[in-house]
Amino acid sequence: MKPMFPILILAALLMAGCGEGPKRVEADGKAAPIAVSTLTLAPAEWPAVYEATGTVRARTAAVISSRVMGNVREVRVHAGDRVAAGQPLVILDSRDLDAGYRQAEAAFSEARSAVPEVENAVGAAKANLDLAQVTFGRMKDLFAKRSVSNQEFDEASAKLKVAQAGYEMAIAKRVQLTAKISQAEQGFRSAEVMRSYAELVAPFAGVVTEKQVEPGNLAAPGAPLLTLEREGAYRLEVSVEESKLGAVRIGSPVGVSLDAVGGTIQGRVSEIVPVVDAASRAFTAKIDLPASPQLRSGLFGRARFELGRRETLAVPAAAVQSRGQLLSVFVVENGIARTRLVTLGDKSGDRLEALSGLNPGDKVVFPVPAGLEDGAKVEVRP
């Protein structure tokens, strides 16, 4: 009896194993298809886009330099500081300028102090002339009546001429004094302006982007000390091929992408430099950008100019699968999902241009269900 027991156990195990095999095959053969939605590809209008690269620059920038020679006494700002219009930036040693100002002020005061004396001289000369004219008139009447001698008449006439000359001389001195006062005033105003050059102020509100001076340096006329940019007013300057000169126009909207900012912002062409660079065979287009706290001079940017429309195939960006450097989409062929490698181009909205790998009429799976693989059975549902 003992030998029969192991045989019965082995037979039972063989029967159990033979029963499991057919069940697994039957289950695999009846796997339910995956429900998917598809998008039938057809040629559609697509914007013809030209991309140009360039650099962000401030629309308004100023290089702060001195108009006079002098030692720098104080620098009140640093690179990155925000300043208001009229705010002092650099202070120069102004002792020489102050001395010149005081000297010009003294000359101006001295010239004006002579005004009362000259006016009194003019008044005295005028009174003397009036008296001489009245005396001459009387002597003339008496001379006509033969009541005075020729000599007395001649003396009265000579006194009138002397009085007239004295008055004219007094008037001339007043004119000279007026000119001297004007000259002294101009010298005083000039010295006042020169003294004001010792304090360099911000011409507009903005940000200090460069600082090239320290206290104790010698400031020479025209030598750059600071660079100031107006904050919030930037533009992208891009280099455009000369063949596109007729297609880019002032006022045209342009999509601009900046790596440092992310996304796309809308700009507008504000200026076109018509001179073509002989080396690069390109011209410069300047695109005004909307105000943003993230913008800075020197940022790299791309501008996309729309040059018309053309027909192409496009797929939703969400339908594209990425595996390393390979891009693919699922297309439905005879109820089977097939992976199709594709080459994609420009993006417009949520769609990507299909350059190769797809044909009109292809049914692209969109949206892509989770777990969908190449070769899986699918059922297209509306």
DSSP track, 15-31: HHHHHHHHHHHHHHHTP
Same-domain status, 263 and 301: yes
Same-domain status, 209 and 271: no
Same-domain status, 255 and 287: yes
| pLDDT for the residue numbered 22 | 35
Please state whether the peptide bond connecting residue 382 to the residue before it is cis, i.e. omega within 30 degrees of 0. Answer: no
Round the CA-based radius of gyration of the chain to a whole number and report it.
48
| pLDDT for the residue numbered 12 | 41
Q: Which amino acid does the sequence have at 19?
A: G
Kindly state the tokens that stand for 337.
């999902």
For residue 151, the SS3 value is helix
Same-domain status, 148 and 202: no
Same-domain status, 86 and 211: yes
Last residue of a domain, one of 289, 308, 327: 308
CATH number, domain with residue 183? 1.10.287.470
The residue among 139, 161, 160 whose CA lies nearest residue 151 is 139
Among the listed ranges 4-8, 107-111, 196-200, 211-215, which one has the minimum average pLDDT value?
Answer: 4-8
Same-domain status, 117 and 249: no
Strands (E), 289-362: 300-316, 321-323, 326-333, 336-341, 343-348, 351-356
Same-domain status, 236 and 294: yes
| pLDDT for the residue numbered 347 | 79
Give the C-alpha separation, 274 to 270, whole Å. Answer: 13
Residue 45 has pLDDT above 90, yes or no: no
For residue 364, the SS3 value is strand
Last residue of a domain, one of 286, 308, 330: 308
Bridge partners (DSSP) of residue 90 are 75, 200
Buried b / exposed e along 12-46 (16+ C-beta atoms within 10 A): eeeeeeeeeeeeeeeeeeeeeebebebbebeeeeb
| Host H or E run for residue 264 | strand 264-277
Last residue of a domain, one of 270, 291, 308: 308
The residue among 198, 186, 188, 189 whose CA lies nearest residue 68 is 198
Among the listed ranges 35-39, 62-66, 72-76, which one has the minimum average pLDDT value?
Answer: 35-39
Same-domain status, 109 and 188: yes
pLDDT band at 30 (very low <50, low <70, confident <90, very high): low
Same-domain status, 148 and 190: yes
Cα angle, residue 79 at apex, residues 73 and 85 outer, rounded to 5°: 75
For residue 230, the SS3 value is coil
Interval 129-173: pLDDT, tens = 999 999 989 888 888 888 888 898 888 899 999 999 999 999 999
Domain total in the chain: 4
Q: How far is CA 43 from CA 39, 50, 209, 309, 342, in A?
A: 13, 21, 50, 12, 16
Give the C-alpha separation, 366 to 8, whole Å. Answer: 57
Q: Contact 344/327 with Cβ under 8 angstroms?
A: yes
Give the C-alpha separation, 168 to 176, whole Å. Answer: 12
Same-domain status, 192 and 227: no
| pLDDT for the residue numbered 54 | 93
Same-domain status, 227 and 80: yes
Same-domain status, 188 and 103: yes
Find how far residue 231's CA is from the centre of its chain: 8
CATH number, domain with residue 336? 2.40.420.20
Domain range spanning residue 140? 94-196
Q: How many CB atoms lie within 10 A of CB 64?
A: 21
Q: How far is CA 252 from CA 244, 267, 274, 299, 309, in A?
A: 14, 9, 16, 22, 16
Interval 276-329: pLDDT, tens = 888 889 999 999 998 888 888 889 999 988 877 778 888 998 889 888 889 999
| 12 located within any domain | no
For residue 224, the SS3 value is strand
